[in-house]
Amino acid sequence: MWLAPLLALSLAVAPPPPVDAETPIPAIPSEGLETAGPLETAVLTTARFKIVHTPRAKASAEVLARDLEAARDDIAALLGRDWPGVTEIRLGYGREEYEAFALPGGKPPSWAIALAYPGRNIVLVEAHSLVTPDGPLTLKHELIHVALGQFGSAKAWPHWFQEGLAMELTGERKWRTDQIATLTRAVTLKKVFPFEDLTAGFPSYPDDVEIAYAQSAAFVEFLRARHGTGAFQRLIDRVSGGDNFEKAFGVAFHMPLSMEEDAFKRELPRKYPWWPLLLSGGTAVWAIGGVLLVIAFVRRRRYVKALRAEQLRVETLHEAAKAMLGRTAVNDDLTLYEAFPFEGTNVPWVMNIVLPLEDEQTKEGKVHTAARSRVP
């Protein structure tokens, strides 16, 4: 549904002069560069980018210079307009150069391989990350942050909207199992955040951060499916014109933000039911193992119950035999018993329960016979 307007917008956005792959890109000395540490740098320029790089990152800079303009065209087509100014890309090879390229006063997070300064129209990139599978998407993600920062101040855009829009336009989390699992867990445990709590920033706990990112991406996807890309373009126009976000949202989407949030949360349990958690990762192994353990326990209980019933039956026969045979003695020789399956317990066989008593005369005869046999 939204492909047609996107095609029209892509034709309406005038592409910049192309960078000829055969023409060497001129390098100019970098002057007045504001960095956190001393660096030897050079600069490559394109129509809308200035790539500041170290000698070790030169090869990456040359490749990047030929791809950046097309990436910016894609973003401009999706947003309905290009952002103003020349964007500066700072490219360092390795963590040390990357951190030295940061603006003074703030060290990049240890997990970040790219960082945007939207108000300054600057993106910081670690060169080696560009050859990883997620590297180009990460760079595009940061360029979207820069675009929003140039359309309005960083404070004009809620944090959830910035992150959600960047993930939606790059498609970096769509259909990923960890994204689905995170949302399923959040819905099942009722840990979906109100978007008002995600306006200024995300929570500090890692699990909560994952939920915040996942629900932001899902909400923007939900809005795009319901209202199309045109609504986002109208929203950008209104915010760029000076409206606050909630007012601009109501005009662009023809619905208050609170009502769209309610509709989104009502749909979550249907879209992210709890049962896939049982089939994801190691959870399925534990679930199946738990079921087998319960089955084994029930079968064992039944077996023990049957054995105890048999023991009671045999003991009842034992007592009955004692009552019926007044002149008999019960066989208490435990060596004639068979071992019970449980340690410390014995089960007598019925055939061993009673033995006839020998009368006194028979006993005396046996004693005399034994005495005579011992006389030499």
- One digit per residue, the tens of pLDDT, for the chain of length 376 reads 333 333 333 333 333 333 333 344 343 334 456 666 677 899 999 999 999 999 999 999 999 999 999 999 999 998 989 999 999 999 999 999 999 999 887 788 888 889 999 989 999 999 988 888 888 888 999 999 999 999 987 788 999 999 999 999 998 766 567 788 889 999 998 999 999 999 999 998 889 999 999 999 999 999 999 999 999 999 999 999 999 999 999 999 999 999 999 999 999 998 888 655 555 555 556 667 777 788 888 888 888 888 888 888 888 887 777 777 764 545 555 554 455 455 555 544 444 444 444 555 554 554 444 444 444 4
What is the model's pLDDT at position 46?
A: 95
What is the model's pLDDT at position 291?
A: 77
Distance (Å) of CA 315 to CA 325, 329, 335, 349:
16, 15, 17, 10
Q: At what angle do helices 135-151 and 229-240 cross, to 10 degrees?
A: 50
What is the model's pLDDT at position 222?
A: 94
What is the model's pLDDT at position 252?
A: 95
Distance (Å) of CA 41 to CA 4, 34, 107, 126:
44, 12, 19, 14
Structure tokens at 222: 């939900």
Provide the phi-psi class of 16: left if phi over 0, else alpha when psi is between -120 and 50, else beta: beta
In a 3-state reduction of DSSP, which class is residue 345? Answer: coil
Q: Is the pTM of this model over 0.75?
A: no
Q: Which residues pair with 51 in a beta bridge?
A: 44, 89
- The residues, ordered by sequence, that sit 6+ positions from 150 with a Cβ below 8 Å of its Cβ are 83, 84, 85, 118, 121
Four-residue CA torsion sign, 67, 99, 36, 206: positive
Answer yes or no: are the C-beta atoms of 119 and 135 closer than 8 Å. no
What is the model's pLDDT at position 304?
A: 83
What is the model's pLDDT at position 5?
A: 39
The DSSP string of 71-92 is HHHHHHHHHTSPPSSPEEEEEE
User: CA torsion 223→229→234→237, rounded to 10°?
Assistant: 110
In a 3-state reduction of DSSP, which class is residue 32? Answer: coil
Q: Which residues pair with 365 in a beta bridge?
A: none
CA 35 to chain centre: 35
What is the model's pLDDT at position 280?
A: 54
Q: Within 13 Å of residue 315, how many CA atoms lie on the same side as its CB?
A: 9
Pairing of strands 346-347, 338-339: antiparallel
- The residues, ordered by sequence, that sit 6+ positions from 103 with a Cβ below 8 Å of its Cβ are 34, 35, 36, 117, 120, 122
Closest to 359 measured CA to CA, from 330, 329, 339, 336: 329
H helix intervals, the chain: 3-12, 58-65, 68-79, 94-100, 135-151, 159-170, 177-188, 206-227, 229-240, 245-253, 257-271, 283-324, 360-374
Q: Which amino acid is at 206?
A: P
